[in-house]
Amino acid sequence: MNNRRPKSPPRPPAKQNSAPLLILISAPSGAGKTTLCNLLLAAQPHMTRAITCTTREPRKGEQDGVDYHFFTATEFLKRLQAGNFIEHATVYGNSYGILKSELLGKLREGKDVLLNVDVQGAATIRAQAESEPELRRALVTIFLTTPSLALLEQRLKKRGADAESVIQKRLAVARQELSQWKNFDYLLISGSKPEDLRRTLAIIESEKLRSARSPAPEF
């Protein structure tokens, strides 16, 4: 007769309920920012993107509150004058902006929020977050770039989306943007798509383990 007690199944690892993060990714045009953001959203089901407000007309298939928050020019100006936006810009005659309430609402729901912005927008968001304690605690900024301008030029040409004159303008802007990398929490030198994703996930995991964002252990 075997009197040995059956082994108990291994316990699953304890889940660490850290405070949600506001992940900001910025990069020069062509460095792979949009691709990385899409891969990150697919890999992190608890993460959501911040929905931008715009005054442009919806394109076919776009839904209000899903693709964008579509505002009239009057409504956008009213929100802007009230200080509701953490960042805004005018592009080709249309206004775009991210509401502070959009970010705070999702963070308070316990969701990690992903921001895909240019370098100028990132500087504005960093400055605005200084006066919003919740945003300041959650904000993690990542600068993504290729190892060299030559490789960035290759990527822009490979896309086949722009004329040579446009590519040269993008590279001129990129030279200015690259000087801002020291203002970000992390510098991510782009390699392969899987490697960029792996490193970004490692950053997120590390930030979630910071003591300032973790609940106190039970004794």
Least confident of 95-109, 144-158, 189-203: 144-158
Sequence-ordered list of residues with C-beta below 8 angstroms from that of 124, at least 6 positions apart, any chain:
86, 87
Confidence of residue 141 (pLDDT cuts 50, 70, 90): very high
Higher pLDDT pick, 7 / 39:
39
Confidence of residue 158 (pLDDT cuts 50, 70, 90): confident
The answer, yes or no, to whether residue 1 has pLDDT greater than 50, is no
The answer, yes or no, to whether residue 12 has pLDDT greater than 50, is no
Confidence of residue 80 (pLDDT cuts 50, 70, 90): very high
> What was the pLDDT predicted at 4?
54
Percent of the chain, pLDDT > 70? 91
The answer, yes or no, to whether residue 149 has pLDDT greater than 90, is no
Fold observed for domain 22-211:
Rossmann fold (3.40.50)
Is the backbone of residue 22 left (phi > 0), alpha (psi -120 to 50) or beta?
beta
Cβ burial, residue 165 (10 Å; 0-12/13-18/19+): exposed
7 and 124 Cβ atoms separated by less than 8 Å: no
* Average pLDDT across the chain, whole number: 87
The answer, yes or no, to whether residue 2 has pLDDT greater than 60, is no
The secondary element (H helix, E strand) that includes residue 25 is: strand 22-26
pLDDT average, residue stretch 40-60:
93
Confidence of residue 13 (pLDDT cuts 50, 70, 90): very low
Domain borders along the chain are: 22-211
**Alpha helices (H) in 44-132, listed in sequence order:** 73-81, 100-108, 119-129
Confidence of residue 170 (pLDDT cuts 50, 70, 90): confident
**In which residue are the tokens 């810009």 written?**
89
Percent of the chain, pLDDT > 90? 58
In angstroms, what is the C-alpha Rg of the chain?
21
> What was the pLDDT predicted at 3?
52
> What was the pLDDT predicted at 14?
47
> What was the pLDDT predicted at 160?
67
Cβ burial, residue 173 (10 Å; 0-12/13-18/19+): middle
